[in-house]
Chains A and B, each alone.
Chain A
């Protein structure tokens, strides 16, 4: 199975590259980043604000089923060139990852395909590594939770009268 998304993260550097080729014309790929209702669909988050212009800003928010906010992020848009490049900051609110500088480069490959390169620069090497390791840790936590559920189920069936 071909891995479509590639990550480059060299040891000891405070940056990373996310590279992906899409079966989409360049204009459609760019639109996916600039129209709030489309961003909401693929990011799975609510877009509170998205100003596509130099010195604009954006804010995303995700709530759980009970309406509690579980994720909020914001940033300033530093540069905006349609179908070419977006330069922006990204910061998760109430988290300890610091602010990131993101340079998103959009390229046409053919009439029907395009390429996105996201260059992210972190405040430090440690913060970059922490961000990279987070999904791995979450994966292990999910395994733990499933385990705990199994244990609890077994325990429950052993209690008389249940």
Chain B
């Protein structure tokens, strides 16, 4: 039960969702993943650790490198394909809310 709640927390973060989408196309090392973000390397490592602990990612040793790949079975359990669609509408409505709050304060002056 605890694990399940952690998984939902894991996918609530936009950077972690971006990592999952990135890894949806192929497995990568931590360095390659970090190169895709403007975030500091240790921050990306922390995200990877959380995703791995939730079993959303698997690690695989290949020589000296550790590759991360998506645990598709777990992904399907928690993150259906509707999430990116929902996220687009959420962003759009957040913007609507901000625009109208701004409009309101301007018209109140």
A-to-B contact residues, CB < 8 Å: 1, 3-7, 9, 18, 20, 22-24, 28-29, 31-32, 38, 41-44, 116, 131-136, 138-140, 142-144, 146-147, 150
Contacts and interface: CB of A to CB of B under 8 A. Distances in A.
A143 B101 CA distance: 34
Report, nearest first, the 5 A-B pairs whose CB atoms are least far apart.
A135-B84, A5-B90, A42-B96, A139-B21, A143-B22
Interface of B: 9, 12-13, 18, 21-26, 32, 35-36, 81-90, 92-101, 103-104
Nearest to B13: A1
Contacts of A144: 25
A132 B81 CA distance: 8
A133 B24 contact: no
Contacts of A18: 89
B104 A20 contact: no
Contacts, number: 97
Contacts of A23: 97, 101
Contact of B96 (A22, A135, A139): A22
Nearest to A116: B93
23 contacts: A1-B12, A1-B13, A3-B12, A4-B90, A5-B90, A7-B89, A20-B90, A22-B96, A38-B99, A38-B100, A42-B92, A44-B95, A132-B81, A132-B82, A133-B85, A135-B87, A135-B88, A136-B82, A136-B83, A139-B24, A143-B18, A143-B25, A144-B25
A28 B89 contact: no
A5 B89 contact: yes
A51 to B, nearest CB: 21
Nearest to B24: A140
A20 B100 CA distance: 15
Contacts of A135: 84-85, 87-88
Contact of B85 (A7, A140, A146, A150): A7
